[in-house]
Chain A
Amino acid sequence: MNLSIKISLYSFFAVIFSILILLIILNNTSPQLSISNSISHDDFFIQEFDSQNEKIFLIGSSHVGRVNSTYIQDQLSLHNKSFDVYNLALSADTPSNRLKSMDNILSIDPSLVVYGLGFRDFSEFVLKSELKKPKNILPDSSYILPNIISIFEESFNVNTNIFKSPKIITIQNIKIFFGLDEIPMKSQIPQKNTPFYIIVPGYSIPLNDAELKRALYSNPYILSDIDPKSENISALEEIILIFQDNNIPVILYSTPKSGLFLDSLSLENKNLFSSILNDISKEQNVQVHFLHDKYTHENIWNNNMHVITGSNNVVHNDDIVEIIINFLDE
């Protein structure tokens, strides 16, 4: 065989063999990925709920995940309002994604749904470097490969997401192998009535201003401009409509953000976000509460987009309690 072809084949197989090993190891040793991505909604929804107790559901993404459902339930009961409060937040959730699990939520027939929404629900994270790319006047060739991959994913029902950052799993496996540290899953704090969002001890640690600034500037991602035609807006309207058709009232609220984060957004985006929620509120007759800029001076930030969990953050939980109580009293 020609030596060049031999070298090419050897190299090609070295790469393919490396990928195969990666595939095998990732598939077998990625507990945190398999848990966070494959929590079966059915496991939660098929359980026997006490039909006597009225239920309140908090829904939204990780921003809502930081709300303490147990605390809210206790506070409501102090005000003689007996409800089982469930926080059904899901990391990186969007209205379009939530729409897919509406049947499950309706099957439990909650008395009230409190939906937390943030800027990310109507825009998306993009790499800062991508924003500096020239605006296209010609077809954008960089979409060719992602499109091919997505066709491949859909055709063969393959999830390539687990290969997007093998580093975390590798480090975790090294730690397990050498018995260096507990893996993140073991250190999660069980949160009653919060089945889909994992709370870890680090979430209760507030960052100071310098740390928040560092975190903001070192983040390679930035929110893109809000798209007024985002499919998530129509999905949100549809979700509200479905709840209303089933006589389930809905309250919307904007999830809290740090002052630094808000300062990094343009005025147009902030106004557009508020006007989207206001329009939906008027058109669909739902309450909307703006909490996104309410805690900018509070020391409750775990990062620029998430408040801390635990007893040091009562203020945000109290506001949610107040919103619910006011609604129930009306």
Chain B
Amino acid sequence: MLFNTLDFFIFFILVLTAVAIIRQRRFQHLFLIAVSYFFFYFSSNYLLSLLIASTVLDFYIAKEIWNTKNIKRKKILLSISLAGNLGLLGFFKYADFAIDQFNILGNHFDLGTSIPFLDLILPIGISFYTFQTISYTVDVYRGHLEPSKSFREFALFVAFFPQLVAGPILRAKDFLPQLREKLNNSNGISKIRQIKIHPTNLKIGITLMAFGFLKKMFFADNIAPMVNEIFASPIGLNSFEIWMGTLAFGIQIYGDFSGYSDIAIGAALILGFKIPLNFNKPYFATSPSDFWRRWHISLSSWLRDYLYIPLGGNKKSPNRTYLNLATVMLLGGLWHGASWNFVIWGMLHGGYLAIHKVISDKFPGIKIHPFFKSKFGKIISILITQYFVFLAWIPFRVGDIEGMLYAIEKYVFLDFLTTQTFELMAAHKLPIVLLILFIILNFISYKKGNLLEIISNLHLKYWVIILFSITVTILFFYDGNPENFIYFRF
């Protein structure tokens, strides 16, 4: 079910009404599991069975890991969990990619045979919920988390519908305690109402959802046609068109994905659950590592905790640190999709992080240099960082290698053609106006601090005027052919 459809609007109102009516905590949980499964089934049908399989596997394995004292047995159980989850992910996401590479290699060596593709459907959200269950089992294995005693609570953690299909990737240590918060506070009286719709949460949640819809439906969906047209076949375009396409895609994917995250966080908050922030003004990052502290925070922190640190992080030799950074980002790129363009995107970011680390290590004084502390120095840092971040969006967006290399060349080596530039601007007036508006609004948001909090704290009558203005803007610029959320396909 897409958030930006009437289906979700009706679904969410019905869920809220039912949650407000159901008076017992246990039934509220069961109800939320049922509606989460329905939400998933709505778009994925029988693939719901994979979600349930992953839930059952990790619930029981984590329990066994916790109960056993034998280190070897703990390791075997953890391996089973990892093999199960990564096997599921690998099979559905990467099998055809691996077959394709094998066939290419076979052709190269004239083996004369090729393996037919499996043509598997990628189950929506599989990359997100498998990472959630893996983090749970690993945390239990490390002794950082006590396993959930209740299957019901664990199932709700895995399937909680607002973040089920495209994150943010939840951590059990953040979510499970929320399910037992009121229970613990009430000395174990099980009939306490767990979910109470609190006015403050409701107001902030609705504001967040409205912001999310605005980012997705007003900005991202209306910018998308220009991006699609430019990057469907970039060969022959001039630098200005490539720059516009890259800028537009950077803003589209930010509006799309952070919009989704805002809706998810807002919906969860209305239901009384706090989901951690997934984006924090990433296009104001002053370095590659700063960018990854602001972009898709739940994934970057997951990669740090469950991949970078186990690989040795920065605790070993400098060369090993650079290699770890490159490996983590390469795998992070591959996590997005089974395609070489995502590998290139990951490698570019791995390279940026490694180079940034080399510079920081070689010139430790650079961070505290007065120039980089000044306003001008900060602007320069932002511009340089974003130049490379946006460069990396090209391989992320353009799957065709030839087109991608052409676009990268035009992005780096400038070659402007006036006529084509004016034609592009004339053909895409609305996306260009929206790009300018988005940049202005982001700048205001950056300067003014937390815009969301400011709006949520407004008196009800002023708040509702803003809500009304956002709704009117979304409705009047509704495209009619809404794009799927980009991260749904990951």
**Which of A44-52, A133-141, A240-248, A295-303 faces chain B?**
A133-141
User: What does the 1/0 interface line of A155-170 toward B look like (CB < 8 Å)?
Assistant: 0000000001111101
Contacts of A136 in B (CB 8 A): 45-46
Give the contacts of A6-31 with B (CB-CB under 8 A).
6-8, 10-11, 13-15, 17-19, 21-22, 25
Nearest chain A residue, comparing its CB with the CB of B430? A171
- Closest-CB distance, B46 to chain A (whole angstroms): 5
Nearest chain A residue, comparing its CB with the CB of B200? A3
Contacts of A326 in B (CB 8 A): none
Contacts of B122 in A (CB 8 A): 132
Select one of A15, A19, A164 contacting B480, CB under 8 A: A164
Q: Is the CB of A14 within 8 A of B202?
A: no
Q: Is the CB of A213 within 8 A of B476?
A: no
Q: Is the CB of A170 within 8 A of B477?
A: yes
User: Is A80 on the interface with B (CB-CB < 8 A)?
Assistant: no
Give the contacts of A139-155 with B (CB-CB under 8 A).
140-142, 145
Contacts of A21 in B (CB 8 A): 472
User: What would be 15 A-B contacts, judged by CB atoms less than 8 Å apart?
Assistant: A3-B199, A4-B202, A11-B464, A14-B471, A133-B45, A134-B45, A134-B123, A141-B41, A142-B43, A145-B7, A165-B481, A167-B480, A170-B476, A214-B233, A215-B232
Q: Is the CB of B42 within 8 A of A141?
A: yes
Give bound CA distance, A220 to B460, whole Å: 40
Give bound CA distance, A22 to B475, whole Å: 7
Give bound CA distance, A10 to B462, whole Å: 11
User: What does the 1/0 interface line of B99-133 toward A look like (CB < 8 Å)?
Assistant: 00000000000000000000001110000000000
Contacts of B477 in A (CB 8 A): 166-167, 170
User: Is A267 on the interface with B (CB-CB < 8 A)?
Assistant: no
User: Is B236 on the interface with A (CB-CB < 8 A)?
Assistant: yes
User: Is B198 on the interface with A (CB-CB < 8 A)?
Assistant: yes
Known: A11-B467, A14-B467, A167-B477. A134 touches B44 (CB 8 A): yes
Q: Is the CB of A142 within 8 A of B121?
A: no
Contacts of A311 in B (CB 8 A): none
User: Is A217 on the interface with B (CB-CB < 8 A)?
Assistant: yes
**Which of B142-150, B221-229, B368-376 faces chain A?**
B221-229
Give bound CA distance, A165 to B217, whole Å: 12
Known: A8-B202, A10-B464. A132 touches B235 (CB 8 A): no
Contacts of B460 in A (CB 8 A): 6-7, 10
Nearest chain A residue, comparing its CB with the CB of B235? A210
Nearest chain A residue, comparing its CB with the CB of B206? A11
User: Is A218 on the interface with B (CB-CB < 8 A)?
Assistant: yes
Q: Is the CB of A17 within 8 A of B468?
A: yes
User: What does the 1/0 interface line of A224-259 toward B look like (CB < 8 Å)?
Assistant: 000000000000000000000000000000000000
Nearest chain B residue, comparing its CB with the CB of A9? B464
Nearest chain B residue, comparing its CB with the CB of A18? B471
Q: Is the CB of B232 within 8 A of A218?
A: yes
Q: How many A residues face the partner with a CB closer than 8 A?
A: 44
Interface size class of B (residues with CB under 8 A): 35 or more
User: Is B83 on the interface with A (CB-CB < 8 A)?
Assistant: no
User: Is B483 on the interface with A (CB-CB < 8 A)?
Assistant: yes
Which of A8, A132, A168, A217 has the most chain B CB within a 10 Å cutoff?
A8
Contacts of A170 in B (CB 8 A): 476-477
User: Is B38 on the interface with A (CB-CB < 8 A)?
Assistant: yes
Q: Is the CB of B480 within 8 A of A217?
A: no
Give the contacts of A201-229 with B (CB-CB under 8 A).
210, 213-218, 220-221
User: Is A129 on the interface with B (CB-CB < 8 A)?
Assistant: yes
Give bound CA distance, A49 to B472, whole Å: 49
Give bound CA distance, A110 to B301, whole Å: 73
- Closest-CB distance, B228 to chain A (whole angstroms): 4
Known: A141-B42, A171-B430, A210-B233. A134 touches B480 (CB 8 A): no
Contacts of A129 in B (CB 8 A): 484
User: Is B197 on the interface with A (CB-CB < 8 A)?
Assistant: yes
Which of B430, B471, B484 has the most chain A CB within a 10 Å cutoff?
B471
- Closest-CB distance, B400 to chain A (whole angstroms): 9
Give bound CA distance, A6 to B475, whole Å: 23
User: Is B71 on the interface with A (CB-CB < 8 A)?
Assistant: no
Select one of B45, B198, B467, B483 contacting A137, CB under 8 A: B45
Give bound CA distance, A170 to B475, whole Å: 10
Q: Is the CB of B199 within 8 A of A7?
A: yes
Give bound CA distance, A116 to B94, whole Å: 45
User: Is B215 on the interface with A (CB-CB < 8 A)?
Assistant: no
Give bound CA distance, A116 to B484, whole Å: 34
User: Is B6 on the interface with A (CB-CB < 8 A)?
Assistant: yes
Contacts of B484 in A (CB 8 A): 129
User: Is B203 on the interface with A (CB-CB < 8 A)?
Assistant: yes
Please provide the 10 A-B residue pairs with the shortest distance between their CB atoms, ordered closest to farther: A165-B480, A218-B228, A217-B232, A3-B199, A18-B471, A214-B232, A14-B468, A218-B232, A213-B233, A170-B476
Give bound CA distance, A260 to B190, whole Å: 64
Give the contacts of B80-100 with A (CB-CB under 8 A).
none
Known: A167-B476, A167-B479. 9 other contacts (CB 8 A): A7-B206, A10-B463, A14-B468, A22-B472, A134-B44, A137-B45, A142-B1, A167-B477, A214-B232
Give bound CA distance, A164 to B122, whole Å: 29
Nearest chain B residue, comparing its CB with the CB of A168? B480
User: Is B47 on the interface with A (CB-CB < 8 A)?
Assistant: yes
- Closest-CB distance, B488 to chain A (whole angstroms): 8
Give bound CA distance, A212 to B478, whole Å: 26
User: Is B189 on the interface with A (CB-CB < 8 A)?
Assistant: no
User: Is B454 on the interface with A (CB-CB < 8 A)?
Assistant: no
Q: Is the CB of B232 within 8 A of A137?
A: no
Q: Is the CB of B199 within 8 A of A165?
A: no
User: Is B436 on the interface with A (CB-CB < 8 A)?
Assistant: no
Q: Is the CB of B475 within 8 A of A213?
A: no
Known: A136-B45, A138-B46. A220 touches B472 (CB 8 A): no
Q: Is the CB of A138 within 8 A of B45?
A: yes
Nearest chain B residue, comparing its CB with the CB of A213? B233
Known: A165-B478, A171-B430. A141 touches B203 (CB 8 A): no
Contacts of A138 in B (CB 8 A): 41, 45-46
User: Is B10 on the interface with A (CB-CB < 8 A)?
Assistant: yes
Contacts of B199 in A (CB 8 A): 3-4, 6-7
Contacts of A164 in B (CB 8 A): 480
Q: Is the CB of B468 within 8 A of A18?
A: yes
Which of A21, A133, A218 has the most chain B CB within a 10 Å cutoff?
A218
Give the contacts of B188-225 with A (CB-CB under 8 A).
197-199, 202-203, 206, 222, 225
- Closest-CB distance, A300 to chain B (whole angstroms): 20
Q: Is the CB of B233 within 8 A of A134?
A: no
Give bound CA distance, A201 to B375, whole Å: 51
- Closest-CB distance, B115 to chain A (whole angstroms): 22
